[in-house]
Structure formats: structure tokens, C-alpha cells
Structure 1
Amino acid sequence: MKRYSALLFIAFFSGATTLVGYKLFFESHRNGNSIVTMAPQYNARNVALGAENIDFTAAADQAVHTVVHVKNVSVRTVYDPIREFFYGARGGIQQEQIGTGSGVIISQDGYIVTNNHVIKDANQLEVTLNNKKVYKAKLIGTDSKMDIALLKIDADEKLPYATFADSDQVRVGEWVLAVGNPYNLTSTVTAGIVSAKARNLDTNGIQSFIQTDAAVNPGNSGGALVNTRGELIGINTMISSPTGSYAGYSFAVPSNITRKIIEDIMEFGNVQRGVLGAVGNELNGVRAKELGIKQTEGYYITNVIENSGAAKAGIKKGDVIVKLDNQKITTYPELTGYLNTKRPNDRINVTVIRDGQTKVIPVTLVKNDVINTEFRGLELENLSAADKKRYNIESGVRIKNVTNERLLPYKEELVGSIILSIDNTNAADVEAVSKMLGNKDDREGASVRLLTKNGQILRFII
């Protein structure tokens, strides 16, 4: 009898321990703020479910109140040659232009994130909340490369705001909602799935979009892409369409990149970008065969930029990057997308395959303006934000030194000038130029578009 009583006690104790452990561990994670721990459980419940079986109402109700309408008022001068000829009127006519878009409230005291192209060249910015209240907005800062801008309104109340999810945890096939406030109609909601991650549209250096098939139309730019919990996973930025209207695909800047840009603008006044300094190409079956290597996925290094973190850490030409920290790297947008969440002096672990062996190399990222590269006897360096503002340009690289014998007679004029493009491709920065050159035969000529120190635009062939 004693034996059965002991067995019964052990069984009861084990069951109670399991129940308490479940409550303490799983319930604490479910009630916490960690998106990473919630995502697998949440996604598992939605497997094989159609849209009609998922309740979007709670997420939509949460998101619509955080999305605003943004009105951009700009003034341009229009010249009328006929009026000038007949009436002798000199000077142009001032015309007011109005552009519209959407934005997302990200703090209860009125900070709003939107697209840079929504507010570009604005003389006046106006924000309309979902409850129809209207406020003047102040521009805090922008990042034209990632098409993000930060605004601020002084509201007379605490505002509803979006909470950021971890966009690295977003999964292809996950249901999402696109929320915008176009044409002052109050917020509108469309549903779709994540079609792809780390999309590279090769547009002015912007990389690593979240692609979705949720309908996004003009006026929704700057709106929110949210998961089915109403958490922000991206800022809707553009659509892919031959007509200018939605035709199946839309793209959003991931929330992790957006958050980092906003934090940089608020803390430093500009965006701090940590540079790896390893330039190369994506691998695939064809390229791997040409290179004589086994790896068909990863980022193959063709050049390591002088003074960069990669160079100092010992990364070499021929290495294949397969992971940054715990993020698997198979494409260039995946690499740049992860690096865009980092700052100078951040330390990351770069996993490479070298001569068939896997190595983990710690790398300290450097500032964008301390690296340089060489192009046909021209030593190039990145521009600072002040340089871009001074010359009223968004991209370019400065000629730091000239070693090309044929160009030495023009060294005084060339040093300090800015290369705007090479072979009609924007010279966004030193890394972009190095990547271009990695795909170019040294024997080929290169057409260079140059901005001289006195403001002239020149074209020549090296």
C-alpha cells in the first residue's frame, strides 16, 4: 500500500511541477513584450488559414488611429514667355503646389515618421489625425537614401502611437495590413501577405525592402505596414506598377531600419552608418562555377576597402560571407539590410568560408567618411553631410588624390572635385563605386561625370 501511495504522490508532484513550469515560462513570455518569443507561437496558429478565418479587426482598430494624413505645401516659380513678350512682365509667377501622403505616429508627444519623398521641398507641412484634428508639423530630419523623414507636431493631447515589431522576425507568407491616410479620407486598411524579404530595387542605393501584395496606392506612401497584432513592421514606401497605380506589389522599409534612422536623427541630427568595407557579389550556381568554388549561396568578396573594419579584421578577397551575427546572408540586400541597423564602432561577428573552412571574424564597423578606394589612379573618399548640403547633391565621392600619370597634369583641378556618376550609374559612395568596379574589366573605358570645385559639370573618359 505504501508503495502505491508513493507512486501516486510522485505522479501528482510531477504533474503539478509541469503545470507550474508551463505557467511560469510560457505565460510570462506570452504576456511580455518580446516579439521574438511570440512570433513562432503566433504564426503556428495561422498556418493553412485563409483570410476569412483570421480576425484583422483588432489590429486594424489599433493601427488606424496611429496613421495620419500629411499635406506638403511648396511654392515654385513658373515663367511665362508669352506674358513676358506681350506685357513686358519680368520674373516668374509664384504657384502653390500641394502634395499628399501618409505618416505614422510613433510617440504620444507627436513624433511622426513618413517618407522623405512625401515632404521633399516643402515650405509648409500639415498633419491631419484620424480624428480630423489638424496641426502644423515641423521637419526634424530626413534620410533620403532610405526615404525616411521624421516630423513633430505639438498636439493638445496624448496621441495614440505605433509600437515597433522586430522586422527580422517577419516571415514570408505572414499576414499583414497596409494602413494609409490618402487624400484626407481618414485611414484605410488593406490586407495581404509578405511576398518576399530583403528586396533590392536598385533605386538610389535603397536596399532591403519588405515586399507585400497588400494593395497600396498613391497617397499611402509613408503609411504603416503592421502585423496581425497591429505592431509596426515597416513604412510603406513605393509600389511596382507600369501605370502608377497598384498592380500587385508594394514595398516597405523594415521597422528595424526605420527605428535606427529615427534614433540617429534624434540623437545625432543625421544618420550614422557603420561600414563593413567588404565589396563583392552574390553567389549563385553559375557564378560559383566560374569562380571554381562549392558555395552557391553567400556574398563573395572581390575587394576589401582600405582603412575599413573588414580590412583591419583580416577579411580577404575570396572570402564568402554567410552570416552576420545570427543573420544568415545569401543576398546583397540581406547584407546591407542588416548593416543598415548598425552604427560606427558597433562590433559584429562575420562568418566567412575561406578555403573550405568556416571562420568567425569579429569586425568593428567604421564611419562612412574614413574609408577610401582607388579607381583608375584616382583615390576616392566619401562625402560628409555638410559637403552634400554645400553642393546641393545627394550622392557622390570626392577625389582625394591623383596617381594616374595621364591625369597628373590636371591634378590641381581634379583633387577636391566630386565624381557624380560612372557609366551613368550614380556614385552613391565609396562602397557603391567599388562594387561597380568589381564588375568591370580594367581594360574597358569608363565615362565619368564630374562636379568641379567651381561648380562646373564635366564629362570625360578614363
Structure 2
Amino acid sequence: MIKWLITPAIYGVLCLTAVLSSASELRETPAVRAYKRASASVVNIHTEKSAQERDSVFASSRGRKINGMGTGIVIDERGYIVTNHHVVADVELIRATFEDGSDYDARVIGVDKEQDLAVIKVDGTKTFKVAPFGTSSDIYLAERVLAIGNAYGYRHTVTEGIVSALGRDVEVNETQSYRNLIQTDASINPGNSGGPLINMDGDVIGVNVAIRAGAQRIGFAIPIDDARKVVARLISVEQMGLGYHGAILRDLKTATQKLLIIENVLSDSPAQRAGLKAGDVVLKAGSLEVCDSVDFERSLLGRKPGDNLDLVVRRNDRDEKLNFALGQSNISLVQNQAFRPASTGINETEAQRFWQILGLKLAPIAADQKLLTGTRYRGGLRVVDVRPDSPAASNGITKGDILVGLHDWETLSVENVTWIVNKSNEIKLNPIKFYIVRGQETLFGHLQTASRQ
């Protein structure tokens, strides 16, 4: 009789265990697993800035605080975070809150207004979890995705949807437009800007950026491959004036591989001295596995000119170890380099030569124009026209930019450019590194110049 009473109890426990196990399997869907994989690297951003109000009685101004919100994605364990530029534009305070509730003050490292991306940094004693980044090169239409963000200030809000379309061009207003966006019907609300769009593997495939006003379930994200190219530039030690490597990098991303290829190596650069060659695939930099240019630039963060870094590259199907030493920033060289003797003055022939070689039409900055106010540069040349399909156009130089340097030399006058072009031809310097000022930002790139006539 006692055995009869005990047996149902044991049977009941076994049934309950089976039900719980079954429920757990049903509840932990691919979406749940994807969220768990990415959530710790999602950051809720709160901002504050002052606005001026006019007192109608006393006609005096007083400041009031405007609070903003957004989202970010951790790109480096030392606290580097990518978000949208419009989230942090003109703010006085940035506060970043992580999934575990810890929060930190943050500062802006770099911005790209045109691409609407920014990198901010928090300083903490712990190691921050880096987001699992995928690729946007193999996205399927109708595949399921999640958007995670600080929607309306509600931290770590998750919405689910599908990829509705690819390659969308969206014009928000007269000053902001986007190209090649991912369209999704996952709800993207105010506060989601800068947060991740992830696939069912939990990989980040986009940076949420915009919603279509007045439309339901139409949101957009910047493809992660496009975003990481911008991020690599924003965290580059060269961009920040903290060092110089002289390697021109190219990301190759497909459904099956993510590679960083050395596109070219500048003459007499640290990269050349280390033995890097065009075509090398960088596998490892220090202790960091390298999949793209962001990883390579991350490996240089915190290092000083002269610091050594071990590289592993694949060359001709063999792995080779190289020792690389970070060089002095070219930006500081441009700022401090005393200009060398110029050639003859500019004339129509020289102007045509610049147009052919660089694709640029340049003009001096008028004395009453304050285009370089607040920058570190002594002067520059205004870009008044860019030839379509030219080296300048393909490298993103646009009308209105201020050319402040080529290679190691500043460009205070058109005569300077004449001398630099002649010198670069003499020493076979191709491509030529350029520095431009756009707004308050210093940008750089490399001009693979056309054949010189």
C-alpha cells in the first residue's frame, strides 16, 4: 500500500520535469538566443544639452536643459562605442548605461556627419563585452531580425521583424540623406538610433538609424559593413593624430569569410619598414584576431609612436610573422612641416594638370573667410570643383572641403600643391595621402593619382 502511494508521486515529478524541459525548449527560440548573445554589448545613451529661451518680459536669455536618448554598440573592450552622430551632436553630457545597470560618462572620439555615425568612449575599470559583428554582404530578404534599443527611454527594448528591402536611399531633410540602407519592419522608435539590428545568429548586421515619419513598421539601418568602414577611420590613430602606419587597407567580406587585405603600402612608412606588402592578408595583430580594418585599428589604440606590435599575415598561402613599429603621426608632420621651396606660380597649364592628375580645382581661402577657425591648421585651399570619376571624387573629396595637406606637407597655396605634385612624381609617391577639413572635422584618405602628363 505504501508503494502504491509513493509511485504516483514519483511519476508526477517525472512528468513535471518533462513538461518543464519541453516548455524551456519551446520558449528559448532562436530570437531569445540571438538577444542573449548580443544584449550585453548594447548601450543605452542619455544626453543633455542647453537651449536658450527668450523671456518675453525682460528680453533676457536663460538656459534650459534638453534631454536626449539613443543607443550604442560596443566595438572594443576598452569602452569604444559606435552610435549615430545625431544622437551626440552638440550635446554637453553623454551618459552610457549597460545591461547590468552600470553607467558611465562618455566622450566623443570622432564623428562623420554625412554618414551619421559617431564613436564615443566610456572609461571604466572592467572589460566591456564587444558585440558579435556579422556581415551585411549576405543578408536575405525576409530573414528575421531583431532591433534592440533605448526606445522612448525604455532600456533594452527588443522588437522583431524581417528584412523588408535592401539598398534603400532615404532623404530625411535638406541636410541629411542616407544611401544603401536596410529596410525592416521591426519597430524602430525614437531612442533606437545607434542600436543594433541583429540576425537570428545574434550577429550585428546593421546600425539602426531612422524611421519613416507617418508610416508604420518602416525602419532603416546602416549596413554593418558600411558602418565599420567609417568606424575604422574614426578610431584610426592616424585620424586622431596619435600615430602613423602607412598601410592602405581593404575589407573583403562574403558569406563565408571576412578578411583584411593590404591594398597598398606607402613608401618609407612603418608598414613598409615592417615588411608588409600589397596583397598580404592580416590574420593577427598582437593578441587580436583580425577580420577587418576595425580590428587592425583597434590593435593600435593605446600605443605610442615607437611601440612594437607583432603581426601575422598570410602571403602566398603561408603565414609569416612581422614586427611592426608605430610611426609618428603624419597629421603632426603636416602641421609642423616648414614649407619647402615652391616651384613657379600657378597658371592655366598647372590648373589643368591638377584637374587631370587629382581631379581638383582649388582656390585660395579669402582673408575674411573663417573656414579653419577652431582647427589646428595655418591655412589651406578651398575645393571649388571635383571632376567626376576622378581620384578625388572616388575618395570622397567634395566641393567646399578645405585641403590642408598632401603627404607630409601642408598646402597653404596653389604653389605648394605644384611643388608637392612635382616632388611626388620625382620620388614615385603614389598614392598620395591627403588631409581635408570638413566643418570642424579633419578627414584623410589616399589619392591613387591618374597618369601624370
Please indicate the TM-score interval, normalised by the length of the shorter structure. 0.3 to 0.5
Q: In proportion to residue count, which structure has more helix?
A: 1
